[in-house]
A and B are shown apart, each in its own frame.
Chain A
Amino acid sequence: MSADAALGRHAARHGLELPRLEAALEWQVTLWSGEMDDAGHRDWAAWLAAHPGNQRAWAEVERLAGRLGELPSDVARHTLKRPRRFSRRQALSLFGLAGAGALVARGGWVERAVADCRSGPGEQRDLTLPDGSSLKLNTASAVNLAFDGERRLRVLPGSEIALDSRGAGGASLRVEMAEMRLDASDSHVVLRDHGERLAVSVLAGRVEVLSGPGGIASQAATLLGGEAAWLSADGVRRVPLDRAAALDWTRGVMRADRLPLNAFLAELGRYRHGLLYCDDDVAGLVVSGAFPVRDTDYALQSLAQALPVAVHYRTPWLVRVSAV
């Protein structure tokens, strides 16, 4: 799709034939396997010799791979680290029983652990549903799927997802979240369960609020593309949609716009294991900025540069922010 289109453009710009460039990439990947035998090397040489176009495509892949080779391994290892993953068992043993109890008590954790699709703290997932819809899970989120004849998706407590069902067919796509039921067929929508209320941002298409508790029942509503709303037992409260803000997390960014420090840490803490908290005397400091959610330690570091605060790591799982 878009990656292939980029490859096509690259081929065109450098006067290469796309199938030969694709083949050259395949060969590069084979050569990098560390498992190629003599017969493999002979096949590769034969492919190269077969056509001048193959040699040109190979020269281009070699040129780019050469730039990658400029990176010393130790530097790449140190700088390009991806978010660290911890197994649940590791996290639990570190928390001890009290920690596990707290997690279960916070609601839905056990359920989350056995859900069809889930992401742990600091993880994000990109999934394709059986009907072709795209589902992105933000940190610590979980979804159960029922796609047998009907299309149903249950979002577990505390989750945040982006669901793009455009072009996946017109039949109803039922989303259940807390006690609410929505129809999100043929739409692009971001949903977050804040506990007491749900945030719904409709980026494209339309979303029908079918049923829910209290005030919702009496004002079953339609939200159109470009609209956002809070849903709670009190009903539907429409708010302006900030399209970029709704999608920030899908780009690995957390944006704070004049957020009190304690609220900021609560938000950033979603992307980490353990507990992140601050002293009361700094809780009201105002935080603004864009922070990478894949590297919350870096986010904390830049926080300490911008505000008169110090960050104390008791352990990676217990982090306190205090006045300097």
Chain B
Amino acid sequence: MASTTLSNTLNARVGALYRDHSHWLFGWLRGRLGGNQDDAADLLQDTYVRLIDAGRYPPPGEGRAFLTQIARGLVIDLHRRRRLESAYLEALAARPEEEAPSSERRALVLDILVRIDQALDRLPDKVSRAFLLSRFEGLTYHQVAERLGISHGAVRKYMLKATQACLLALDE
């Protein structure tokens, strides 16, 4: 019984946050998405879903700041996903048609790309470049060291750092 009461309280709070701020937040999102209403509507929905998932609610009076913070992260993620998606489609266009992956496969690859891009973004530039050179250009560590003008030991250190970050990012 206690848990029912609790979730009713939470629902009431989400409801109040929706009633008080959704209209304003929609305008805010539209402004940040170049006026695109559909994207703004999607992210508005996602913002409240995130709020419910997180299970943490803002103290009274801070609802707007709290929602804006979630929404801002979603805008950045959307830009990242769009950029990667269009680059992915470009890469696919360069291939023969019979090699075209299924839509499930494309969604899987895009999901991995987003996670890796996000992880690499948080790393120093040389660390992420060492990782890309090793994993996707097929260079040995000696070749990576030469390309980046750093020591072999540094390449190993960077690889450890990037490998840890990227592999953790791929966990469900």
Residues of A with Cβ closer than 8 Å to B?
3, 6-7, 10, 25-26, 28-29, 32-35, 61, 64-65, 67-68, 70-83, 123-126, 244, 251-253, 255, 257-258, 288-292, 294-295, 298, 302, 305-307
Closest to A287 in B: B34
Q: Report B's interface with A, CB cutoff 8 A.
A: 31-36, 69, 72, 75-76, 79-80, 82-84, 87-88, 90-92, 94-95, 108-109, 112-113, 116-117, 120-121, 124-125, 128-129, 132, 134-142, 156, 159-161, 163-168, 170-171
Contact of A288 with B31 in the complex, beta carbons under 8 Å:
yes
A16 to chain B, nearest CB (A): 12
Contact A306–B83 (Cβ < 8 Å): no
In Å, the complex CA distance between A284 and B59 comes to 39
How close is A300's CB to chain B, nearest CB, in angstroms? Answer: 12
For the complex formed, measure the closest distance between the CB of B146 and the CB atoms of chain A, giving whole angstroms. Answer: 13
Whole-angstrom distance between the alpha carbons of A178 and B159 in the complex?
Answer: 39
Knowing A3-B161, A80-B132, A82-B120 touch, does A71 contact B83 (C-beta < 8 A)? no
Residues of chain A with a CB closer than 8 A to B90's CB: 78
Is B34 a contact of A3 with CB atoms below 8 Å?
no
Contacts of A7 in B (CB 8 A): 164, 168
Query: Which of A79, A82, A251, A298 is close to B76, meaning CB atoms less than 8 Å apart?
Result: A251
Contact in complex: B136, A76 (CB < 8 Å): yes
Contact A76 B113 (CB under 8 A): yes
- The 21 listed contacts between A and B (C-beta, < 8 Å) are A3-B161, A3-B165, A7-B168, A10-B168, A25-B164, A26-B160, A28-B163, A29-B160, A32-B134, A34-B138, A67-B112, A68-B167, A70-B109, A71-B109, A73-B136, A76-B135, A80-B132, A81-B87, A253-B76, A255-B72, A302-B79
Within 8 Å CB of B161, what residues of A?
3
List 8 additional contacts besides A6-B168, A76-B113; criterion CB under 8 Å: A29-B159, A64-B170, A74-B95, A79-B113, A123-B125, A289-B34, A290-B76, A307-B34
